[in-house]
Structure 1
Amino acid sequence: MNATSVRLTTVAIGFVVAAVVLTGMLALVGFEATFAAIATADRLVLASLLVVVACWFGVWAYTLSVVLGILEVEHTPVDAVVLFGNVVFANSVAPSTYLGGEPLAALLLSRYTGRDYETGFAAVASVDLLNYAPMLPLAGIGLLYVVTTAVVGRTVEIALAFVFLVLLALMATVVVGWRRRDRLLTVAAVVLGGLSQKMDAVVPGVHAVSPATFERRLGQFAANVERVSGDHYSLGLSLVYSTAGWALLSGVLWLALYAVGHAVEPEVVLFVVPLGAVSNVLPLPGGLGSVEPVFVVLLVAMTGITAPDATAATLLYRSGTYWLPLLFGVVTVAVANVPVPRPTN
């Protein structure tokens, strides 16, 4: 079994597990009541939902365009949309979403643009970090709202506060790690080089990569990320657009709830959407099977709506923000594999 078949098997297993989880959730909530709520959803509101989804996609595609511009990767607005579709595809099929999808997304980006893999990985990693950066303050605002106004029970409040503290600790770890990146890169190169040499001895088809080569490539990656972080104006602009993306995603959930007959406070969706995204770190493709139960539990606890209605709204939200972008990503990946002529200097 080669590496490609192993990856495909991992993706397939992830989708099977997600399907089992979703089926179990629907069985617990009630298939008939959930699909009845979906069937009676307001069609005009659903059309508006699709418009907001398109705006979210365009906003985050522009964030990628800004990062590509900093790295001097030649591209057009259409290229940015195609490349962001590739990123969404990779994050939607890989386990643990961003953690698992970045290597594939970087490969697709480097092939399409003709730039080296390290530049592609730096672009993808920077965009993911920028897009996730507003998640913590938005979740904090929502948590403050929950603690001060919503009646969800002391146990739920403690659990939500714990999740927020974990997010804060992760962000702090990233900041500290970046400040000590030179030492960490050296250690990572030694570890990866040693693992590569051991795998070369026991796994057919795997070629050893020396620690020096790893250190050079990691150094190039870090240098590209430094270029992105050093352009303060463009970085601030990217953060504005990434925050707008979260607001639009929250708007999609609000419209999904409104479509099934519930107008909730904006603070609720501003909290539920970023907090639900935390479950993307689980080894499931695009958070499929992990995001949905989190959304349903939070919506029922915070708004008091019925579980079938919360499930229906969640499925409508995920249809617009997961399944449609995934299908679009399939198209952009196919486009990206077509040779694109690049201007020569």
Structure 2
Amino acid sequence: MDRDQLRATVLGFGGAIAVLSVLLYFVGVDELVAELSRADSSTVLLVVGVTLAWLLAWAIALKTVLGVLGVSVSLPRSFLVFNGAMFSNNVTPFGQAGGEPVAALLISKMADTEYEKGLAAIASVDTLNFVPSVSLALIGAAYFATETTFGTRLQLATGAVVLLAVAVPGAVYVGWKYRYSLENRVVSGLTPLIRWITDRIPGVPVPTPASLESRIGHFFGAIERVATDRRAIAVSLAASTLGWGLQMSGLWLAFVAIGESIPFSAVLFVVPMGAMAGITPLPGGTGGIEAVLVAVLAALPGVTIGVETALAAVVIYRGAVYWVPVLVGGTVVSVVGADSFG
């Protein structure tokens, strides 16, 4: 990790700690501890088990996409690779946007393939994961809309989901329609920048314009192969939807663990809303995701819980979905790093 990246990571974790501290200040540490002390340990372990099942489901999606790109990996290896990718996302500012280049490098090493294929694979999986999350959020919002009237905050949250549901597929369609023109623009824009950077790094050879054009072309070609394989898209979307369902089950079980019950339709809406906070410049969205989850849960009509109860459940849920891939993926990254430099 270079000095700039280390500084950004340290600042990101500092920001996450600050956000969590403010959240704890308003909720109260004693109140949170009191809620957590009620948690049933066996149900908490079930949340961890559901988290592992979620990671396995999304590992199936990654394995499927890699198979389209001609990279054959076993499901256990895909599970380890995906956890390593999640680890990089969880410790890098801006979540997936910041962690994808590192995740692509890890995939290329563990799956023994080109970096461009690794980047195309993780980018494709992330894009496919977006579709079920927004769809499930809209289903949850539609259910609540038939039951009661939304307040201003929930109207804004629902509006954000609808906007994403329209804007992201629209951007993907435009990008696909003009993909060859986009490829040419990326090549012409990135080539001078990459050559300028590598020219100033000792020991790193400066790539030729032709080699850069070839590598970027391979990346776009890999994306096109995935986008045109309908069977792979169907399997990946099914695995992604299962993964989202397991994540939502984890949050629902976290409430059960502390003796509370909320409608499952609530987590359909809440979990994707929390995932949107992952775009903040905080490692893995830590702090931002917790704040959004608590705020939306406390504001949902028909969900009669206090903010301390919401935070306690979120702590259990996020403790699993954040730390399980960090521990498993961190071990994977350490082993791969030791093999690379040993």
CA distance in 2, matches of 1:122, 1:130: 12
Kept in 2: contact 1:90–1:104 (CA 8 A): yes
CA distance in 2, matches of 1:84, 1:157: 33
Pick from 124, 127, 131 the counterpart of residue 126 of structure 1: 124
CA distance in 1, matches of 2:183, 2:269: 35
Q: Deviations over 1:300-345 (max 9, x none)?
A: 11113100000001111100101121111111112333559xxxxx
State whether structure 2 residue 129 is matched by structure 1 residue 158: no
Pick from 55, 58, 61 the counterpart of residue 59 of structure 2: 61
Pick from 97, 100, 103 the counterpart of residue 99 of structure 1: 97
Single out whichever of 19-28 and 186-195 deviates more from structure 2.
Answer: 186-195
CA distance in 2, matches of 1:158, 1:211: 49
Give the aligned partner of residue 261 of structure 1. Answer: 259
> Normalization by structure 1: what TM-score?
0.91
Aligned residues: 336
State whether structure 2 residue 250 is matched by structure 1 residue 249: no
Give the CA deviation at 1:166. Answer: 2.9
Give the CA deviation at 1:209. Answer: 4.8
Q: Deviations over 1:246-270 (max 9, x none)?
A: 0000000000111122211111001
C-alpha RMSD of matched pairs (Å) = 2.0
Give the CA deviation at 1:72. Answer: 1.8
Give the CA deviation at 1:174. Answer: 2.0
Kept in 2: contact 1:146–1:157 (CA 8 A): no
What's the secondary structure of 1:325's corresponding residue?
A: helix
Give the CA deviation at 1:39. Answer: 1.5
CA distance in 2, matches of 1:207, 1:26: 50
Give the aligned partner of residue 25 of structure 2. Answer: 27
Give the CA deviation at 1:85. Answer: 1.2
Give the CA deviation at 1:211. Answer: 4.9
Q: Deviations over 1:38-65 (max 9, x none)?
A: 1111222212212211111111111111
Q: Deviations over 1:147-171 (max 9, x none)?
A: 2224541x12331232113312123
CA distance in 2, matches of 1:57, 1:200: 36
What's the secondary structure of 2:2's corresponding residue?
A: helix
What letter corresponds to residue 308 of structure 1 in structure 2? E
Give the aligned partner of residue 275 of structure 1. Answer: 273
> Normalization by structure 2: what TM-score?
0.92
- Aligned-residue sequence identity (percent) comes to 36
Kept in 1: contact 2:95–2:278 (CA 8 A): yes
CA distance in 2, matches of 1:309, 1:76: 41
CA distance in 2, matches of 1:7, 1:196: 17
Kept in 2: contact 1:82–1:336 (CA 8 A): no
What letter corresponds to residue 309 of structure 2 in structure 1? D
Kept in 2: contact 1:254–1:264 (CA 8 A): yes
What's the secondary structure of 1:137's corresponding residue?
A: helix
Shift in alpha-carbon separation, 1:248–1:5, aligned structure 2, 3 A: same
CA distance in 2, matches of 1:176, 1:76: 34
Shift in alpha-carbon separation, 1:190–1:18, aligned structure 2, 3 A: same
Kept in 1: contact 2:48–2:324 (CA 8 A): no
Kept in 2: contact 1:189–1:212 (CA 8 A): no
What letter corresponds to residue 255 of structure 1 in structure 2? L
Give the aligned partner of residue 305 of structure 2. Answer: 305
Q: Deviations over 1:5-47 (max 9, x none)?
A: 2112211111111011101101111111011111111222212
What's the secondary structure of 2:261's corresponding residue?
A: coil
Give the CA deviation at 1:178. Answer: 2.0
What letter corresponds to residue 284 of structure 2 in structure 1? G
Pick from 219, 223, 226 the counterpart of residue 224 of structure 2: 226
CA distance in 1, matches of 2:110, 2:56: 19
Kept in 2: contact 1:91–1:285 (CA 8 A): yes
Q: Which residues of structure 2 form unaligned runs of 5+? A: none
State whether structure 2 residue 171 is matched by structure 1 residue 167: no
CA distance in 2, matches of 1:195, 1:227: 27
